Structure 1
C-alpha cells in the first residue's frame, strides 16, 4: 500500500513534469532503526522519473528541479530521496 507522502510525491511530480514513467519506491523498511527513520514508514524513497522536461538538462539540474517540485517534502518530511531522472530514450 502507498502511504500519503508517497502519494503526494507522485501527485506533485505528475503535475510538474507530466512524466511518461514514474515510480515512487518506499525504501523506508531498509532503513528502520537508522538515522532519519522517524517511525512513520515513509522516511526514505527512490524516485524514478522519465519526462521530456529533462531533455538537454544536466543531471544536477534535473535533481534540483525534482526537489523544487517537491517543495517541503525533501529534508523536512522525508529524510532521504534517491532521484533517477531521465528524458525519454535515455
Structure 2
C-alpha cells in the first residue's frame, strides 16, 4: 500500500517548540481513499527525563471539519495529480 501525504496544517507552541501538531491529508493509492491524520509530539521541556505525549489519530476525510479542513480541496487535487489519478 502506497500512501501519499500533504500537510494541511501545523501548530507549534512553546519557546522551545515543545508542543508540535501536524495534520496531513493522506491518499491510499491502492484503495484510492482519503483520510486525515493528526500526529502530535508534546513534551515538558523542563523535565526532559519524562516521556513525551505523542501519537496519531486518523479521521475520515469526507466531512472533516478540524484543523486544515479549508485546505482539503487543494490537497486532494495535488495528491491525485501526484499519483497520476487526476
Q: Same fold (TM over 0.5)?
A: no
TM-score by length of 2: 0.30
TM-score (norm 1): 0.29
Structure showing greater Rg: 2
In proportion to residue count, which structure has more helix?
Answer: 1
Higher relative contact order (CA 8 A, sep 6+): 1
